[in-house]
Structure 1
Amino acid sequence: MIWTTWSSRGIQIIAVILFLTGVLTQEFLIVTTAIFILVALFLANYMALQAFSHLQISSDRQHIIVESGETFHWSAVIANPLNIAAGRIQLRQDIPSGFSQSAPELKTEFVLGPHQQARVDMMLVSENRGRWIFPPLDLYQTDLLGWTDIATQKASPVMVTVWPKRIILPADFWRSARAMGDIKGQRWDEPDPSLYIGIRRYQPGDPLKWVHPYASMRMRELMIKEIDHTRSFHVEVICHPLSQLQSWYGIDREAVEDCFVLAASAVESALNQDFACGLTISCPLPGYGHGVSLPPVTGHSVVAEYLTNLAWAIPSGSLSSNLEMLMNQIILRNERPGLIVVVSPLWDPVLSPYLRLLAEQGYVIGWLTTSAEAHCDDDVDIRWQWKKGREIYAQYMARVI
């Protein structure tokens, strides 16, 4: 590109020198040659500008959502609608650090003729959770003679959201909620009719998921569980990526990312179990400078929203002040008692008075952590621990057996 720029200026200087020399020496051939070079340079510049202004660049997607560790494709199409050649095209695309690539930028070069188009495909592997923005393409164009060089940025930035990784929760993870209201009759309940209000004969319109298989086999006809709907069960997942008790120590990146993995796994599992699930994130994210607390909702369509919020979360060293405001929002909802799952590497003392108040209202309190040494100031009902490569297991249960 530097050589092209200097060659264009050099040709202009040579043409001017030839023209002045021809005028001074009164050599018509030299003057004609100089004028011819200047006209050719002007036409090359004009054609390059025309082709450059009419180039059409489009990308297939402006917002891409991928899983962590997933390979995805992104492509851009460059089209020349004119009857003249666009010359040599060079594209450069900077690659964010959250993706694996052999070089920090993508470079490609080709010649685009009349009414031709080229497609540039880029294959990347997402490595880190987050919200990544690919800057606009850097476009460099020269005419066919290499005399004119134009550089600009075209196409809109592309945003890529990388969801956190998820792990499979053990089958008995939600057994703490076994006796809580309308979740009776799910597959983790013991096959004992005494857990329900009663057993009755099947009537047309009854949901098949309420069929009691053991009672039906004994009675030789379909028997339905009578379920108590006086309480509505829901899950509140609190993602609090606190890795250091003192903010000036910074953050432990590995512990924080593991926290997001566990929070994403708990949210996805709860919604897949048809629970009403709420999500509270104590660290800032775009649009929520002090964290966010989303009320419990049901439906598989909410999984994408929750995972996107967890992907966009930006961990910081000071989270306790945000947590106080968010816990007050949970209390003010006046929801019926459910299960609170605190996902945090370390226990934050700020949580204790709020969780104590929720426990008095009938909530079951659980703590999901990755640290074996971390201790809790208050007795929680359930404490789960997870290590990479292993399953989540319950360390102890205080009130719920």
Structure 2
Amino acid sequence: MPDAPPLRKIIHVDMDAFFASVEQRDHPELRGKPVAVGGSSRRGVVAAASYEARVFGVRSAMPSVTAARRCPDLIFVKSRFDVYREVSGQIRAIFQRFTDAIEPLSLDEAYLDVTQDKQDIGSAVKIAKAIRAAIREETGLTASAGVSYNKFIAKLASDQNKPDGLCVILPEQGPEFVASLPVKRFHGVGPKTNEKMARLGIQTGADLREKDVAWLTAHFGSWGEGLFRMARGIDHRPVRSSRIRKSLGGERTYGEDKWSEGDLREALDGIVEIVWDRIAERQVRGRTVTLKVKFADFRQITRARSIEHAVASREEFSAIGHGLLTDILPVENGVRLLGLTLGSLERDEQEAKAATPVQQTFAFD
């Protein structure tokens, strides 16, 4: 028989209400109060909500008017993404003390593979505790962590005891842990899929586990095999330190509709600056530039251009973006949102890839 794959030790770290917590840290008068990061205007959107606000049903991506209706005492705070990125960098530096295998998912969460015990701490749980303690001491913020033998279960575990919690799921506990959860907690199961599963009699992981591959494929297409593995707590995906996004972009919604060419080009210049800074920071390049435009009547269009070589400079990125804007001018309706994205990304510089040895004597707890 073939050897079983070596046991891995994966930690998923997720900061607690990250943007809102940074604001409460930096502004003591906001502590203990319902806070929403984002604009308070009728066109604003909540970027993050404190736990005090979540009690009232305020959630990220919710229109600000809806959030204010649900929580009349809600305090809106303007976002400070430069600060959030700086704090995220501090947290990333803490991760690097414990492992080189880090897969960031966003500014506030990441997977860590600690199978190789970089500091000889001796336990994945002890590493998770040390990371959370360092984050609290050095940033004044709290993080929740899930520890398990694969990415899927580690991520589920990190959400189990939020906020400021730690959850450990051992290999022998994984299948039953997954079976006990509602399927809406599973990655990829959004509201529509959850509704479809409910119609099919699937509410929990246990319900999902009763279905065979053929049945799941018949109802969910190629994702059926993935759901079959998911229901059994199986996930062989590695933690990818060199994980690269398919695209990088930015967009902005305006308080007043923009009509004139001058206003639109000025607005696009601002987006170019923000997006190119992100591109340079991540040392990537791409070949496809996409312009997104949403009009006052909520009609949305996109225009894209792909080139043979990678976009090499801010100036070239800007020129292509403005060329796409020219194609839609003059506008017949006011523009309420502009966005610009660079896609078909690849690394600007090849990073050396070092093999990571497996340390099989390293315990979970």
Using the size of structure 1 for normalisation, the TM-score is 0.20
More helix by share: 2
The structure with higher relative contact order (CA 8 Å, sep 6+) is 2
More strand by share: 1
Using the size of structure 2 for normalisation, the TM-score is 0.21
Structure index of larger Rg: 1
